Every structure is written in C-alpha cells, then in structure tokens.
Amino acid sequence: MRPQPEFDALRRDTSSWWWITRRNLFQEAVAQAVWGKRRARVLDLGCTAELDSADDSLLRAVNCHSSLPTLAFHQLQNRRALICGNPEELGFASNSFDAAVAGDILQTVNDDLATLRELRRVLKDGATLCLTVPAYPALWGEQDEIRGHRRRYTANNLRRKLNNAGFEVTRVSHLVASGFLPAFAERITKNIFTKSIDRYRQSAGRSHALNSAMVLLLDGERFLTRYINLPFGTRVVCWARKPAMVAERIAVPAWERQWAGQPLPQGMS
C-alpha cells in the first residue's frame, strides 16, 4: 500500500519553504486580480494556493488536480471544491473564472501548450493567470525525475509558450535567486558523482530553523518582485492576462479572396 508514503511526502511538501513562499505569492496575485469584484471565481490548478482560507464573501476557489491521492490528502486538510481533472482538457465552461493560478503544474503535463490554451479558454476576458515553473534545463536533476517532471523552462521559453497560447504576458521574473548558486554547484557535483535517488527519497528530515530562514529570505525576494524582475533564480514566475478581445485569424483560400472582392463591371446600357 502506497497511500501512507504519499501522504507523508505531501505533508512534508506543504510545510516546505517553497510551498509557503508559492502560496503567499499566489494569494497576493489573486487578491490583486479580483480586487473590487464580488464573488469572484478562481481556479487553483495544482491545489497550491490554499485559497480556502480567504473570505468566502469575496471569492470562490475551485481546486483542481489530476492526482486522486493528492486530492484525498487535501480533503483531509478540510479543503473544499476539490475536482479531479486533466490539465490538458479542463472540464469547466469557457469564460468562467476571474483568475487562475498554476503552481508547478506546467512541467508535469505531456502538452504544456494545450494546458495553457485550456487555461485561456476557461478564463474570462481580461482575467489574470499567475504560474510558477522550475527554471533552467541545465539544473535538471534527481528531484525532477522523482516528481515526474518532463521539462524545465527559461523565462523566454515560457513567455513564448504563453504568447502562442493567446495570453498577453505582463511580467516574467525569476524567484529563489538566493538558491541559484547552491543548486548550480549541487548539479555539477552530482554530474561528477553517482546519483542516489533512493537516498534522496529517504532523506525526509528537514531542519525547521533552516526552513523558517528560507521563508523569511524568500519573503524578501517576493517583496522585491513587486518592483523589479529578478534576473536569475531556480524558479520562474509569470503573470499573464487573457486579452479582452482576440481577433481569430481565418485562412481564406485564394479563389475565395478573389471572388470576395469588388463585383465585375456589368457593361454599359
């Protein structure tokens, strides 16, 4: 039976410095996106924003994930509106959400462009999307393999994907800049020595003091991202919006364009 180890891993994740930092980031992004709106509807793809703690009179959160064990864990944490769904084919009506957040989901799906298009479809015109992904393909390592990641992103690559999906990118910044150099050094070291995925899985212990220190440090980084875009870091965070009006391009055959022009002269009477 695997549910207990999975629940233990999820319990560790939800108390980690990155989970707490990402949750605070998303809650701040949602608060700005739904400011002045009553009964706003927000999609939390990945169940990472913990929006249930917000005032129910202001927003309604829908928590969506493709993993049933993950949803079961969040149900035990008294989360509400838990829905199991495929990120590439979201089972929601078009134009039904005022904002959406996606915490480290894009790198786990087969078709990330299809997922972004689905997010654009379910968002209302002018609605905001905030998402995070792991940065730099060069930092690919054991943790990516363990978590089922399929790719890492650069800031330019993520911006291009969002534009191709029909979003207007408002901001792209890195985060966890303080952890970039240690992560890069660790990647080089592990490229030299043998991998140890099993040992990584067994290393469940985590210093509470170090975890709290990282939360404080990343709160400072998160404050800086309000004013500047950090040039490097182990995560990429992006803010984008669905354009209010998008003109769809339709390919018209040449013969149809020819006959759609001015009528031929009819001769003189």
215 falls within a domain = yes
What percentage of the chain exceeds 70 in pLDDT?
77
Backbone φ and ψ for 35, nearest 5 degrees, come out as -60, 125
Go through the chain and tell me how many residues it has: 269
For 173-201, the pLDDT digits (tens) are: 999 988 766 676 666 666 666 555 444 44
Backbone φ and ψ for 100, nearest 5 degrees, come out as -145, 145
Using an 8 Å Cβ cutoff, are 113 and 165 in contact?
Answer: yes
User: Residue 1: what pLDDT?
Assistant: 42
Confidence label for 57 from pLDDT (cuts 50, 70 and 90):
low
What percentage of the chain exceeds 90 in pLDDT?
61
Instruction: Enter the tokens of residue 252.
Output: 């018209």
Confidence label for 259 from pLDDT (cuts 50, 70 and 90):
very low
252 falls within a domain = no
| Out of 90-94, 144-148, 253-257, least confident range | 253-257
255 falls within a domain = no
254 falls within a domain = no
| Residue 17 DSSP label | H
**pTM assigned to the model:** 0.81
Number of folded domains that form the chain: 1
User: Residue 202: what pLDDT?
Assistant: 43
Check the CA dihedral 51-52-58-59 and report its sign.
positive
262 falls within a domain = no
How far, in Å, CA of 33 to CA of 241, rounded? 10
User: Residue 9: what pLDDT?
Assistant: 85
Average pLDDT over residues 103-120: 96
How far, in Å, CA of 7 to CA of 30, rounded? 27
Confidence label for 37 from pLDDT (cuts 50, 70 and 90):
confident
User: Residue 143: what pLDDT?
Assistant: 85
User: Residue 189: what pLDDT?
Assistant: 66
257 falls within a domain = no
Asked whether the predicted pLDDT for residue 53 surpasses 80, the reply is: no
User: Residue 194: what pLDDT?
Assistant: 55
How far, in Å, CA of 131 to CA of 100, rounded? 8
Contacts of 30 (CB under 8 A, 6+ apart): 42, 49, 51, 54, 59, 99, 101, 130
DSSP string, 50-113: -GGGS-TTTEEEEEEES-HHHHHHHHHTT--SEEE-BTTB--S-TT-EEEEEEES-GGGSS-HH
Using an 8 Å Cβ cutoff, are 149 and 198 in contact?
Answer: no
Contacts of 259 (CB under 8 A, 6+ apart): none
How far, in Å, CA of 132 to CA of 237, rounded? 4
User: What is the 3 state secondary structure string of 101-141?
Assistant: EEECCHHHCCCHHHHHHHHHHHEEEEEEEEEEEEECHHHCC
| Residue 49 DSSP label | S
Asked whether the predicted pLDDT for residue 153 surpasses 80, the reply is: yes
119 falls within a domain = yes
Asked whether the predicted pLDDT for residue 157 surpasses 50, the reply is: yes
Average pLDDT over residues 51-68: 79
Q: Print the domain residue range for 16.
A: 3-245
- Amino acid (1-letter code) at residue 22: R
User: Residue 8: what pLDDT?
Assistant: 86
Asked whether the predicted pLDDT for residue 67 surpasses 50, the reply is: yes
16 falls within a domain = yes
The CATH number assigned to the domain holding 135 equals 3.40.50.150
